[in-house]
Structure 1
Amino acid sequence: MIDFAAGYQAYQHTSVNVKASGADIHSLVGMLFDGFLDELARTEGHIQAKRHDKKAASVEKLLKILGGLDASLDQDKGGEVAVNMHNLYQFCGQALLRASLRDSLTELADVRTVMTDLQQGWQALLQHRA
């Protein structure tokens, strides 16, 4: 039997690496937002299908992505905006953990709302820079 999922994951990993190798920090942050929302959709599917082991792995990926986004903040130059972003990332991380413990799609929806708003704001910023 052919494992299409493994092949797709390998393709996706390679595709992301190629994109990341030529991207500036602003594009990389955009890629993190995209990856986060993609993984969040997988997490929702794992909760619905009661695949607890895969849900846990997805939540771990989400927390790592949040860590990457948080690490990209320039606390010295970012001022209040950086502090607010940090607080939103922390809120999302805590909500992810609660959602995982409770298998709560409602709490995941709250995270999706926050992260989608941030992604859209980031995209608007990138378009304004161009």
Structure 2
Amino acid sequence: MPRPTFKGISQYRNIELESSVASASPHKLIEMLLDGALGKIQMARGCMERKEIGPKCAAINWSLSIIEGLYSSLNMAEGGDIALGLSKLYEYMMRRLVAANAGNEVAILDEVTQLLGEVRTGWVAIRR
């Protein structure tokens, strides 16, 4: 019996992710984006500790892209103070990620992880 290859596993994961995204509600999509950003920040943290510069930069850039997407999806016209607060928080987190990348500062990644984790917790709570 042939053993699964990494390529096969990767393709399966991509199909599974595409299926999850296609069937997700808008609320769930935001949750998935938050999870993705948190995962990439943790990946960057590990890379930073191992001094893997290229993968660290890629993971931070990916998390920046996700947070930028969350920022750009805010409805400032209807979101009121919550949207304004989130926009300022997302801007702050993006600046901090750039600083973490430039200075190889794990503590800054931990700070952003905590902030983004709180956003995720609040987001999940409003679904209930």
Same fold flag (TM > 0.5): yes
Residue of structure 1 in register with 2:89 after alignment: 88
Distance in structure 1 (CA, Å) of the matches to 2:62 and 2:69: 11
> Which structure has the larger Rg?
2
1:1-130 correspondence runs (5 A): 4=6, 8-127=9-128
Identity of aligned residues (%): 26
Give the Å deviation of 1:11.
3.5
Distance in structure 2 (CA, Å) of the matches to 1:7 and 1:47: 29
Give the Å deviation of 1:14.
2.5
Give the Å deviation of 1:9.
4.2
Distance in structure 1 (CA, Å) of the matches to 2:103 and 2:8: 32
Give the Å deviation of 1:86.
0.6
* Cα RMSD (Å): 1.6
Distance in structure 2 (CA, Å) of the matches to 1:102 and 1:10: 35
CA deviation map 1:42-82 (0-9, x unaligned):
01011011110111111110111001111221111001110
Distance in structure 2 (CA, Å) of the matches to 1:97 and 1:87: 16
For structure 1, list consecutive stretches of 5 or more residues without a partner in the other structure. none
CA deviation map 1:57-114 (0-9, x unaligned):
1111011100111122111100111011011111110000000011100000110110
Distance in structure 1 (CA, Å) of the matches to 2:96 and 2:127: 28
Distance in structure 2 (CA, Å) of the matches to 1:54 and 1:29: 25
1:11–1:26 distance in 2 versus 1, CA, 3 Å? same
Query: What secondary structure is seen at the aligned counterpart in 1 of 2:51?
Result: coil
For structure 2, list consecutive stretches of 5 or more residues without a partner in the other structure. none
